[in-house]
Amino acid sequence: MSRVVLVLVETVNDYLPLLEREGFVLILAPTAASRAEAIASHGQRIDAVLTRGPLGLTGEEMAALPLLKIICVIGAGYEQVDLQAASNRGITVTNGAGANASSVADHAMALLLSLVRGIPQADAGIRRGEWNKLRLPSLAGKRMGILGLGAVGQAIAKRAANGFDMSISYHNRQPLPGTTHTWCASATELAGAVDFLIVATPGGGSTRHLVNGPVLDALGPHGYVINISRGSVIDTDALIAALASGRIAGAGLDVFDHEPQVPDALKTLGNVVMTPHMGGQSPEAAQGTVQMVVNNLVAYFSGQPVLTPVSLPASL
């Protein structure tokens, strides 16, 4: 019997044939309206859901899917998936940790280079007929701090250390075994020790506003922050205030609190470089994330352990 997968994501359509080749039947529902309609019309036959962190899956939606056995999340984050509801139902949850790490790490470095070297401003000036040679910092030999040394954080560290001779410090809940990078006990301690603070930790309640006013103050007026994780990790109001007052030098942002809405205050600041949550959007990353979903689904439905399980709370 063919397994039915409800696909809520909207950015990997070119690679969905990877699922169909394995015999999965797909129901595409990339908008809020089509999602509600698909659950109402086809909920009785859906075995699996493919989603991403910000799209998630609610407990109420799970209740409307009586055959649901597994939720596969594209990307590392799963902040809007109701893990408690999944645990209560015995539903397996997987994520795509590491599948798009190279693409996200490349984008983090691109944001950092663009921000520190003033690339958008220089480009805009030339287009206006100007020839302003700005004296801006070099990246070589600087100190990088990475908040969240997972697969993405490690890929960023590799690029920074090997490509730009940077020293690397990081903050995780606990020191990471086997790394030579310097562990800091808090986000504030990390920010105070570096020139560039890269936010690469997962989103969700446990990391909400982990980068706040005191952390930004510790980073200081010559420090830059790059966020390629989730908008919720940085206190946006505190960030805007720090940028506007010169308490930090600049910010590179690929993620925001209420995407696709972006605060107007950020748009008016000259020391910000922004992109529309595209860090993980490359052909290689899209294929890799879908292949990870395929591997997890095939493993699950053949009675094998899934490759990238998400830890669930105890059932209630």
Catalytic site includes residue 171? no
Rounded to the nearest 10 degrees, what angle do helices 101-116 and 119-127 cross at? 60
Catalytic site includes residue 259? yes
Annotated active-site residue in 3, 52, 159, 277: 277
The encoded tokens of residue 20 equal: 């169909």
CA atoms of 182 and 177, how far apart (whole Å)? 11
Catalytic site includes residue 128? no
CB half-sphere exposure, 30, CA atoms < 13 A:
6
Strand order in the sheet with 143-147: 182-183, 167-171, 143-147, 196-199, 224-227, 250-253, 272-274
Annotated active-site residue in 107, 171, 181, 230: 230
Annotated active-site residue in 37, 60, 130, 259: 259
Which of 77, 195, 97 has its CA nearest to residue 141?
Answer: 195
Torsion of CA 76, 40, 312, 258, to 10 degrees: 40
User: Cβ distance 187 to 215 under 8 Å?
Assistant: yes
The encoded tokens of residue 219 equal: 């980073």
* Residues with active-site annotation: 230, 259, 277
